Structures are given as C-alpha cells and as structure tokens.
Amino acid sequence: MKPAAVEDFALRSELIQFNHASYGLSSRRVIAEGERLRRQIESDPTLHLGSELTRRLAAQTISVAEMLGVDSTRLTLCTNATSAAAAIVASVPLNADSTVVVLDVEYSSIRRAWEIACAKAGARLVSVAVPVPFESAAALLAVLDDQVPGLVDYLQISAITSSTAFRMPAPALGAWVEQRGGRLIVDAAHVPGHIPLLPELWGAAAVFGTLHKWFPTLRPVGLLWLTPELDIRPAEVSLTWDSPDLVERFSWPGTFDPVPRLCTETAVAQWLEWQDAGLLDDCEQLADTADQAMVDIGARRTATTEFRPPRLRSFILDGVTAPQVKDALRVAGIRAWVGHGAGGECLLRLATHIYNDENDVDRVTNRIQEVLSR
C-alpha cells in the first residue's frame, strides 16, 4: 500500500516517480490555490496585474526569505533558475582579461550560457573536470590549482550537482576563488526545501535556484540571492528593469503568469506540515535504503557519504547505455532521470519523496538489476 501522503498529489497511481528532482510535483492543495488565484486575476486583470501585484510578490518574497533564513532585501523571486542564471551571466562585467571557471559537472545550459558570454567578451573560459566518484574537497582544489593559474573573475559551481547528485564543498570553493580575487556563483536549483540555503557561509556573491523542485509549488518559481555590490538586471528589458528595488526589478518580465509565485506561501506551509510530521526524515531514510540496494546490485555511487544529499542520489551503471536503462524503466512505469556524465558514463538518479515507499525501491532495483545482467 502506498503512503497516505500520496493522496496529496495528482500523480497517476500506477507510476513510480523517482524523478521528483527534475520538475518537482505540485500538491493538490497548491493546485487548488492556483486555480483560485487565477479566477481572481481574471476577474479584474487591470487591478491584479498592476501595482497590486508587486506588493503581493514582495510579501511572498519576504515569507520565503524568512523560511529560508536569508535577508529578504537580498532575495527576489523570478521566473525560473534559467532566467535567474541568465540575469547573472548577462550582467556581470566581462572583458578580454577576464577568466571564468566552470566545473564540468554543472548543468549543461549553465555551462553554455557562460560559453556564449565569454565568447562575446573575448574572456577566457576554463572548464575543470571534477573527479567522479567525488571523494575529496582537497582533490578538487588540487585540480583547480593545477589547471587554473593566476587570477579568476568568477567560479560557477552547484551546491548540489544535477546529474551526478553530490554536494559540492561550497565553502572551500568560495575561499579558493576569493584567494584568486574572484567571486563565487552558486547554482542552488536543488537546495530550497532540500538542504539549508547558506549563501554567506558558502562565500557566494550570487545564488540562483528554484522553489518548484522540492517545495510543492506550481511551476515555475525561481529565486535569486545577491550580495549588495552586484548590480544584476533581468536578461529581458521590461518596464521594471531600471527599478532600484530588487523584487520590483524582477516582478514584471513582460506579461507572464504570476500565480506560481503567489502560491509559494501555501506550498511552504504544506512542506512545513510534512516536515513536522517526520515525512521528510522518512524520505532521507528511504534514500539511504535505495542507495544501499543499488550498490548491492552492482551500481556505483557518484560520491562518498560526506557529499551525498539527503534525498537525491545518483549512480554509475557500468556496461549499459542510457537508452537501454530509459527503455527498461519506461516499460515498467518507473520515472527516473537517466543520462550520461561528463565522462560518458551512464548515470541513474533517484529522488525520494513522501509518496515513495520500499516497494518502489524494490521495483526500481529489480528493474535495474535485470538491465545490468543482460
């Protein structure tokens, strides 16, 4: 029998969902709130999409900032992580003397955004290969020292990497780039609702991410956190682009659907109920169960215990291809992220959530074991 919490979602009952980390999943409560808000907006768009909207978005931003434990004057909600990243990459000053360092485990579109920006400015882009399985912050710092001599303007990392799903040693990397005269940019797409958001501890100058991956909010809701000295503007020049207020600056990227942002308080409140009931702790225990089960059938972890996130795990599957694994899971009604790592290895990523149980772990493990044994 599935956990009672499965009723909180509209997920098809015959599916096994381990791909929560890709898109998240809106809860029925938040979907209902979104429908209410849409009816309200349509009753008087001139009012609800005008100046009133900025006030409401500011209130949502303050609520999110308080929950995440960060200064609300440094935080804004935005369309998604991609738009927040685009704002950063388009705004930071680059020239022919600049050096940007990007790790090869970063999300592909983020790497591409830096490639385009550096090419336009004539800046040097250095891609650094991260050892996988990831076992040591010291080893990565040694690679950086070896491959990146001299000054650095920006270092792009993820707090939790996407495909390989391991926690980066952000404070150590922040200290490294500061010693090189540069700034740390952090992709925190897998952070809010999963692990603490700690930009100042990380030594970050800018952090971008999403709420819709680990909170049950509607899609999409992005976030952007900035140090005061960085003047970051939206990539699209809209009516509020020149605003000195960070929230207002990102409140109107042209005509858009504000409902996902307006639902964040509802989503966070429900997430807190799950946390208080111990359901998120159960997810962590289930992730550990899945982790050991996958290793028992021959999968290899992408990181040692110190660097594994609570509810997101990735595995290297030797001797098989990503299409083989995708097809096997699809036929079995199992949804999980499968792809290739930077070195061409086949990766399987599992995200546990409150609708999963040990039967789900057994089914995905058995299916992967079948693929590996062919």
Q: What confidence category does residue 206 fall into, taking pLDDT thresholds of 50, 70 and 90?
A: very high
pLDDT tens digits along 208-217: 999 999 999 9
Q: Which CATH class is domain 34-268?
A: alpha beta
Lookup result for tokens 């307006």: 262
Whether 234 contacts 241, CB under 8 Å? yes
**Tokens 């992220």 found at:** 337
Give the mean pLDDT of 58-83: 95
Mean pLDDT on 119-138: 96
Read off the pTM.
Answer: 0.95
How confident is the model over 227-244, as a mean pLDDT? 94
pLDDT above 70 coverage of the chain, percent: 99
pLDDT at position 205 = 98
Q: What residues form DSSP beta bridges with 78?
A: 222
| DSSP assignment of 18-30 | --HHHH---BHHH
Q: Which residues contact 175 (CB under 8 A, 6 or more apart)?
A: 203
What is residue 374's predicted lDDT score, i.e. its pLDDT? 80
Q: How much is the pLDDT for 342? A: 87
Predicted confidence band at 237 (pLDDT cuts at 50, 70, 90)? very high
| Tokens 């912050």 belong to residue | 137
Strand (E) positions, the chain?
Answer: 16-17, 75-78, 99-103, 124-128, 154-158, 183-188, 204-210, 222-226, 300-301, 312-317, 334-335, 337-340, 346-351
CATH classification of 4-27+272-372, choosing from 3.90.1150.10, 3.40.30.10, 3.40.1550.10, 3.90.25.10?
3.90.1150.10
Instruction: Check: CB of residue 316 under 8 Å from CB of residue 368.
Output: no
pLDDT at 341 over 70: yes
Please work out, in degrees rounded to the nearest 5, the angle formed at the alpha carbon of residue 352 by the alpha carbons of 354 and 334: 105
Pairing relation of β-strands 183-188 and 204-210? parallel
The whole-number average pLDDT for the span 328-341 is: 96
Confidence (pLDDT) at 273: 96
Which range, 6-10, 62-66, 342-346, has the best average confidence (pLDDT)? 62-66
pLDDT value of residue 3: 67
Round to whole Å and give the CA distance between 210 and 220: 8
pLDDT, tens only, 164-196: 999 999 999 999 999 999 999 999 999 999 999
Residue 2 reports pLDDT greater than 90: no
More confident residue, 52 or 125: 125
Within the chain, which residue ranges are assigned CATH 3.40.640.10? 34-268
Res 1 pLDDT > 60:
no
Task: Provide the β-strand partners of residue 207.
Answer: 186, 225
CA distance 125 to 117: 9
Average pLDDT, the chain: 95
Smallest CA-to-CA distance from 325 within 18, 109, 29 is with 18
Residue 262 CA to residue 6 CA, distance in Å, equals 24
pLDDT (mean) for 118-137: 96
Start-end of CATH 3.90.1150.10 domains in the chain: 4-27+272-372
Q: At 4, is the pLDDT very low, low, confident or very high (cuts 50, 70, 90)?
A: low
Query: 120: Cβ–Cβ under 8 A, 6 or more apart, which residues?
Result: 94
Asked if 210 contacts 159 with a C-beta cutoff of 8 angstroms, the reply is no
